[in-house]
């Protein structure tokens, strides 16, 4: 991988030695055998970012149920992060349980393509979801003005894990898809012979669009993660 290019989906997450609010970490080695989600925010002591950290912290247990750890990052210093997470705990009543990378020189943010093009002092709201083999599975970028949806991130992690476990694809809005409901999509046939028999073997609309049921407990877990929290 080129040193100046940020990792793409399907590539190994680069090895980084980082300073965090929980001490020094070597990523991705520190999370070997687990999923992790590294996400950047524009800056400490800013309104949208504060609402995000409040939400991520309240939902941390849900990420852990999916064997997933969280790591925050911005181009603020570790000292600034410590002051901010202490403020969140003291004033909003929620402890931030995950580490936050201090990156005041912008080394990590630049390596991962997180620097906002209009401001070298801000990071965009980037998300990297990495699997237990340290492979990047999903990348999302949000602008400064829009906070992320925690339910969608949990749904995406669950869907990726379903893909690994059952070798299926998950439809739009799964597990509540408007066309096939809770079901998962079969990979399309890769040869003519299989395409001729696929509709005899599976439910669907065409040989290239068939689906099957997945275990009810998996569906219920997914619904639990995406339902609106009270």
Instruction: Give me the pLDDT at residue 143, please.
Output: 87
Which helix (H) or strand (E) segment holds residue 50: the answer is helix 47-58
Instruction: Give me the pLDDT at residue 230, please.
Output: 43
171-202 pLDDT, tens per residue?
999 999 999 999 999 999 999 999 999 999 99
- Please check the confidence at residue 125 and state whether its pLDDT lies above 60: yes
- Please check the confidence at residue 228 and state whether its pLDDT lies above 70: no
Instruction: Give me the pLDDT at residue 118, please.
Output: 62
Give the architecture-level CATH label for domain 16-147. 3-Layer(aba) Sandwich (3.40)
- Please check the confidence at residue 4 and state whether its pLDDT lies above 60: no
The active-site residue out of 49, 71, 101, 160 is: 49
Q: How does DSSP assign 115-161, residue by residue?
A: B-TT-TT-B-EEEEEE-TTSBEEEEEEE-TT----HHHHHHHHHHHH
pTM comes to 0.93
82-91 pLDDT, tens per residue?
999 999 999 9
**For the CA atoms of the chain, what is the radius of gyration?**
20
Q: Where are the domains of the chain?
A: 16-147, 161-226
pLDDT confidence bin for 1, thresholds 50/70/90: very low
Residue 49 annotated to the active site:
yes
Query: For residues 79 and 102, is the Cβ–Cβ distance under 8 A?
Result: yes
Q: pLDDT > 90: what percent of the chain?
A: 88
CATH class of 161-226: alpha beta
Distance CA 188, CA 209 (A): 7
Instruction: Give me the pLDDT at residue 144, please.
Output: 87
Instruction: Give me the pLDDT at residue 121, please.
Output: 62
């Amino acid at each position: 991988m080129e040193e100046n290019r940020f990792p793409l989906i399907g590539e190994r997450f680069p090895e980084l030695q980082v300073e965090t609010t929980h001490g020094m970490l070597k990523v991705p080695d520190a999370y070997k055998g687990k999923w992790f989600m590294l996400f950047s925010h524009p800056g400490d002591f800013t309104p949208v970012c504060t609402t995000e950290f409040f939400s991520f912290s309240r939902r941390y247990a849900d990420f852990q149920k999916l064997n997933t750890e969280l790591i925050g990052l911005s181009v603020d210093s570790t000292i600034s992060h410590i002051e901010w997470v202490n403020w969140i705990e003291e004033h909003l009543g929620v402890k931030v349980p995950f580490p936050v990378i201090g990156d005041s020189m912008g080394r990590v943010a630049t390596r991962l393509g997180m620097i906002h093009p209009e401001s070298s002092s801000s990071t965009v709201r980037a998300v990297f979801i990495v699997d237990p083999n340290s492979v990047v599975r999903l990348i999302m970028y949000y602008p400064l003005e829009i906070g992320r949806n925690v339910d969608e991130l949990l749904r995406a992690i669950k869907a990726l894990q379903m893909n690994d476990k059952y070798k299926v694809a998950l439809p739009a809005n799964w597990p509540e898809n408007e066309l096939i409901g809770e079901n998962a999509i079969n990979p399309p046939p890769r040869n003519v012979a299989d395409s001729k028999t696929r509709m005899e073997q599976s439910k669907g609309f065409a040989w290239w669009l068939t689906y099957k049921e997945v275990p009810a407990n998996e569906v219920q877990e997914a619904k639990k993660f995406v339902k609106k929290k009270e």
